[in-house]
Amino acid sequence: MHPDKDNSERFRKLFDAPIDWDYLITAARYHRFIPFLFNSLKSIPETQVPSPVLKEVSQFFYNTVEWNLLKTAELFSIVDKLKDKGISSIPFKGPVLAQILYGDISHRQFDDLDILIPRKDFHKIKEFLIAEGYQPELQVNLRQESMLLRSRHHFQFFHPRSKFYVEIHWEFSPALYSFNLYLAEVWNHRQTVGLLGRDVVSLAPSDMLLVLCEHGSRHYWKRLQWISDVARLIELKGIDWPFLERQARDIGSERDLLLGISLAKALFNPEVPALISQKITDNPEVLRLTNLVLDKIYSKNRDLGHITIEDNSPDIEEELFYIHARERLRDRIRYYVRRATSPSPREDLNFFVLPQILWPLYPIIRIGQLLKKYKLRIWKWI
């Protein structure tokens, strides 16, 4: 069942018991489900919904719609100007994903504008965005920038006037995680999407599903929106399943993929090919990870503190979860090596700015920073 379907009958059953409206609204905001809540409340008699609740949800929804429209216009502007400069780009997630999944950008909340570009064009795009009034998230010199282009997957820019965030991607995941989607094929497979009366390119459905599943695993599938996105993409029936399965196996992300589909089936029950369902049933690690995520989601019930505070502190359990979501031993080994030696832009590069001749010392600094951050908890990795 999905936010864009008629849920009125099931939603009415919620009113058989008292509703904790504070929790419902807070949870909907955390899980990025305000559009679903707004459309569902419209199917309920006004006498059953407290007026302040309806007002708060409606105001948040219409603010979201306004922001979505403004950010979509900004996306058009950026993509057009990059094209004029001869720079290729592929917008994904954000308004493009909302349009693909729900046919309406008002039906999905999003924050950033995510744009994939060729790595070689990053410096030109950085200069362009700065000229447009955007500020880079980090102030780094060209040598440090070169290091980050090898270890990271994106760079964020913020516009202080419009309050927009733009994430420029050259990969879909940091090198740390060994999610090596074949970028040449991604560019070749890109498809055109109709968005507010004009055409915009985006990812092919199979590539998009892999990206969504990897992203969800990397962030512990914390938000119901991410699982709903996977379910909706499956329901659109644009997936080339044999190709997708081969590609997932080739890059070592089959478990990521099966986990995302397993969660989608558990919560939203999209129609999935029998072979995929059987693979999930036959994979005990996928089932174990599925139950971990579901337990985490259900344990948040009534815990307003947990979902009102975005905790960015180190969480080894979540990192271990991602490691277990990768099936190849060599990818897990790479994770440990890169985790211990790759400099963090916010911590290591700012902690010590070393001349290029001393860059081999950054791994030593990195190990020291990890010990400082995690202390005794670091032994959980071993």
Judged by phi (left if over 0) then psi (alpha if -120 to 50, else beta), residue 307 lies in alpha
Alpha-carbon span 103 to 238, nearest angstrom: 14
DSSP class per residue in 185-249: HHHHH-EEEEETTEEEEE--HHHHHHHHHHHHHHTTT--HHHHHHHHHHHHTT---HHHHHHHHH
Mean pLDDT by 10 residues, the chain (382 residues): 48 62 90 93 84 95 96 98 96 96 95 96 96 92 82 94 97 93 94 95 96 96 95 93 95 97 96 96 97 84 53 66 92 84 57 51 55 52 49
Task: Output the pLDDT for position 145.
Answer: 85
Task: Output the pLDDT for position 308.
Answer: 52
Buried b / exposed e along 323-357 (16+ C-beta atoms within 10 A):
bbbbbeeebeebbeebbeebbbbeebbebeebeee
Q: Of 1.20.1050.10, 2.60.40.10, 3.30.460.40, 3.40.50.300, which CATH number belongs to 8-304+311-342?
A: 3.30.460.40
Tell how strand 165-169 and strand 112-116 pair up.
parallel
DSSP class per residue in 160-184: TTT--EEEEESSSS-GGGT----HH
C-beta atoms surrounding 171 within 10 Å: 19
Token pair belonging to 343:
């400099």
The pTM for the full model equals 0.86
Task: Output the pLDDT for position 376.
Answer: 47
